[in-house]
Structure 1
C-alpha cells in the first residue's frame, strides 16, 4: 500500500511541476533561459532561443523566406 501511495504522490508532483513550465518561445521562457547556463542548453533550446528571443518570431508564426 505504501508503494502505491508513493507512486501516486510522485506522479502528482511530476504533473504539477510540468504544468508550471512556461510556453516555449514566450517572454517568460526567454527570461528563464537567460538564467540557464548555456552549457546546459540542448540544440533545440539554442535554436528556439535564437528564433524566439533574438529574432522575435512568435510561436506558431512561420517565417516567410521570400
Structure 2
C-alpha cells in the first residue's frame, strides 16, 4: 500500500513539473517577474539574474 501511495505521489509530482515553463525561457522570465521577489528561492533568484537580466543585456 505504501508503494502505491509513493508511486502516485511521484507521478503527480512529475506531471506538475512538466507543466512548468523551462527555466530561462521567456515564459519563465515573465512568470518570475510577476511573482513577488520575496517568494523566490535562492536558486530562482540566481537563475533569473543569469537568464533574464544578463540575457536581456546581451541582446
| The structure with more radius of gyration | 1
Measured in 2, the distance between the counterparts of 1:48 and 1:7 equals 30
Gaps of 5+ in 1: 58-66
Tell me what 2:27 maps to.
Answer: 28
Q: How many residues align?
A: 57
Q: CA deviation at 1:55?
A: 0.8
Between the aligned partners of 2:25 and 2:47, the Cα distance in structure 1 is: 10
TM-score by length of 2: 0.68
How large is the RMSD of aligned CA atoms in angstroms? 2.2
Q: Which residue of 2 aligns with 1:42?
A: 41
The 3 A distance-change label for structure 1 pair 9 and 38 is same
**1:12-46 C-alpha deviation (Å, 9 max, x unpaired):** 33222111111111111101101211011111111
Larger proportion of helix: 2
User: 1:47 & 1:23 partners in 2: Cα distance?
Assistant: 15
**TM-superposed deviation, 1:11:** 4.1
